[in-house]
Amino acid sequence: MAQSCDRIVHHLRQEGLLVDVIHFTNRVERTKIDHVQNGKNIAFAMHPDVSHSLNLVWAFLQNYQQELVQQQQPPITHLTAFGGYVPMIAAPIFSAWLEVPYVVLLRGNDFDTGIFSPKRQDILKNALLNAAQVCVVSQDKQYKIQKLFPTVNVVHVPNGIDLKEWQVLASDTQKAHQWRQEQVLTTNNQDTPKKILGMFGHLKSKKGILFFLEALKLSGKLSQLHLLIIGDMTDAVQLFLNDNTDTLSYTHYPFMERFALLPYYAACDMVAIPSYYDGLPNVMMEAGGLGVPFIAANVAGMADFLQDGVHGFLFNPGNREQCREAIRKMFALADEDLKQMGQNCLEMVKTQLDYQLETQRYVQVFQETISPS
């Protein structure tokens, strides 16, 4: 979520929009304001009592709006709630008091967990029903919200990526080659090198990692690959890896900063995204933008953009037999066909998930949002 927020705000500011970001953090004891081009980053200390924290924010906003008017600067015209239950609580209230519209930006997890949470469902519902517009990153979220709340204006705005900055340098290629040479053994003393299969990101239960590993074992392909896992694993996944060291070789690194991932993506022959449910994973854009094909669940953002047999092989979420078949198909591909799939992924990201498309869609959303007054 933080990565998406940073990206969207950065590019909106580059377009000339004035964007002030208010966020809570445990790193400051008092309000801290950093002035940047076309906006401010305003950090508030997060108190155990959420109501106290939000009252402090309201006091700040009230004074801030008055100061802007007095200084003949542009006043606050819109509010945006970017995921999470605290912004969802605040947005409808602050919007009414400031008499400006607000837009909700929902990531996959915000909706998937909030709608079934006894504590957060009413907060989510209230935020959606009173929003001027709701932006979602996958078409399935648009469908689900419209079916539950037909009066809500839901807009599909996929994530985007800047491929001019997200590219493999010569040093990354060298590191990727060296890593493969050091980490990957040949298959059972045969001459055919193992395929590198990567799994990246916050590897929570919803990501279906254990399910995928079990399907991988059933496919009979464990001994033909080296698994590269970057991110925090559950105990169940670690137990599976420990129990299958006789046939499975793997490397695990803890979660790392985004640009540090470049050589590891470059080392992969394929990437797996076996989510039970999701939004539009950054991993899909990052791997696809580097020409790496997928074994992926046919759900959410993956279903919107990945075509079976074109960008990799897909399976219905949680369907073990389809997953096993997708794995077998991927491993049956000749190297040149695997590379062509990777090129298809790169072209898809270039043409459909470019950051400029994302930015222009958000600019349009704010232009179309009318003040409730």
List the chain residues with pLDDT less than 50: 373
E strands along the chain, which residues? 21-25, 32-36, 39-45, 79-82, 102-106, 133-136, 154-156, 195-200, 225-230, 249-253, 270-273, 294-297, 312-315
Q: Which CATH number fits domain 2-160+355-368: 3.30.70.3270, 3.40.50.2000, 1.10.3720.10, 3.40.1010.10?
A: 3.40.50.2000
Spans of all domains in the chain: 2-160+355-368, 170-352
Does this chain's domain 2-160+355-368 share its CATH topology with 170-352?
yes
Q: Which residue has 């909706």 as its token pair?
A: 111
CA dist., res. 64 & res. 75, Å (int): 9
CA dist., res. 39 & res. 11, Å (int): 12
Query: What is the bridge-based pairing of β-strands 249-253 and 21-25?
Result: unpaired
Q: What percent of the chain has pLDDT over 70?
A: 97
| Residue among 113, 61, 64, 55 nearest 84 (CA) | 113
Q: Would the pTM count as exceeding 0.85?
A: yes
Query: DSSP letters along 9-47, please?
Result: HHHHHHTT----EEEEESS-SS-EEEEETTEEEEEEEPP
pLDDT in tens, 109-147: 889 989 999 999 999 999 999 999 999 999 999 999 999
pLDDT in tens, 74-96: 999 999 998 788 999 999 999 99
pLDDT at 155: 97
What crossing angle do the helices spanning 50-70 and 85-98 adopt, rounded to 10°?
40
Whether 102 and 80 have beta carbons less than 8 Å apart is answered as yes
Residue 316: both structure tokens together:
């219905």
Q: Which CATH architecture has domain 170-352?
A: 3-Layer(aba) Sandwich (3.40)
Residue 323: both structure tokens together:
């997953």
